Amino acid sequence: MNFKGIIDSTLREGLQFSRASFRLEEHLEIFSYLMAIGVDYIEVSNPVKEEVAEMVRKLVNLKGNSQTKILSHIRNNRKDIEKSLECQVDGLNILCTADPERIAALNLTPQDYLKNLENNILLAKKHKVETRVSAEDLFHQPFELILEIYELAGSLNVERIGLPDTLGTALPWEVYEKISEIRSRFKTDLEVHFHNDLGHSISNAISALRAGANWVDTSLLGIGERTGITPLSSLLVNLYKINPALTSRYNLKVLTAAENYVARICQMEVPMNLMTNLDNGFAHKAGIHLNALINFGPQKYEPIPPAVIGARRNLIIKSLVSGKTTEEDVMTFMEKYGQD
Residues of this chain that bind ligand HCA (CB under 6 A):
13, 16, 73, 93, 95, 134, 136, 162, 164, 166, 193, 195, 225
Q: How far is the CB of 15 from ligand HCA (least distance, A)?
A: 10
Report the chain's C-alpha Rg in angstroms: 22
Q: Which is nearer to Cu ion, 13 or 148 (CB)?
A: 13
Please say if 289 is a catalytic residue. Answer: yes
Q: How many residues bind Cu ion (CB under 5 A)?
A: 1
Q: Which is nearer to ligand HCA, 189 or 225 (CB)?
A: 225
Q: How far is the CB of 253 from ligand HCA (least distance, A)?
A: 29
Torsion, CA 34, CA 35, CA 36, CA 37, rounded to 10: 50
Q: How far is the CB of 60 from ligand HCA (least distance, A)?
A: 20
What string marks each residue from 11 to 40 as x (binds Cu ion by CB under 5 A) or -? --x---------------------------
Question: One of 27, 73, 284, 289 is an active-site residue; which one?
Answer: 289
3-state SS class at 67: coil
Distance between CA atoms of residues 135 and 115, nearest Å: 15
Exposure of 300 in the CB half-sphere (CA atoms within 13 A):
12
Q: How far is the CB of 244 from ligand HCA (least distance, A)?
A: 29
The one of Cu ion, ligand HCA, none whose footprint includes residue 63, by CB under 5 to 8 A per kind, is none
Q: Which is nearer to Cu ion, 8 or 13 (CB)?
A: 13
* Three-class SS of 102-127: HHHHCCCCHHHHHHHHHHHHHHHHHC
User: Residue 101 burial (CB < 10 Å; 0-12/13-18/19+)?
Assistant: exposed
Q: How far is the CB of 282 from ligand HCA (least distance, A)?
A: 32
3-state SS class at 82: helix
User: Residue 318 burial (CB < 10 Å; 0-12/13-18/19+)?
Assistant: exposed
Q: How far is the CB of 8 from Cu ion (least distance, A)?
A: 13
Which of the ranges 8-16, 27-35, 148-156, 255-263 carries the binding residues for Cu ion, by CB under 5 A? 8-16
Indicate the pairing of strand 69-75 with strand 283-284: unpaired
Contact 71, 91 (CB under 8 A): yes
Encoded amino acid at 46, one letter = N
Q: Which is nearer to Cu ion, 13 or 43 (CB)?
A: 13
The one of Cu ion, ligand HCA, none whose footprint includes residue 136, by CB under 5 to 8 A per kind, is ligand HCA
Q: How far is the CB of 123 from ligand HCA (least distance, A)?
A: 19
Which of the ranges 6-14, 119-127, 143-151, 181-189 carries the binding residues for Cu ion, by CB under 5 A? 6-14
Q: Which is nearer to ligand HCA, 134 or 325 (CB)?
A: 134
The one of Cu ion, ligand HCA, none whose footprint includes residue 134, by CB under 5 to 8 A per kind, is ligand HCA
Alpha-carbon distance values, 59 to 16, 27, 73, 318 (Å): 19, 8, 15, 49
Distance between CA atoms of residues 200 and 202, nearest Å: 6
Distance between CA atoms of residues 136 and 96, nearest Å: 6
Indicate the pairing of strand 69-75 with strand 189-194: unpaired
Contacts (CB under 5 A) with Cu ion, residues 306-325: none
Residues 6 or more apart in contact with residue 314 via CB below 8 angstroms: 278, 279, 280, 282, 283, 284
Q: Which is nearer to Cu ion, 6 or 290 (CB)?
A: 6
Q: Which is nearer to Cu ion, 201 or 322 (CB)?
A: 201
Q: H or E element: which one contains 5?
A: strand 5-8
Phi, psi of 80 (to 5 degrees): -60, -40
The one of ligand HCA, Cu ion, none whose footprint includes residue 277, by CB under 5 to 8 A per kind, is none
Residue closest to Cu ion when measured from CB atoms? 13
Please report, as ranges, the residues that interact with Cu ion according to CB under 5 A: 13
Q: Point out the residues that are catalytic.
A: 289
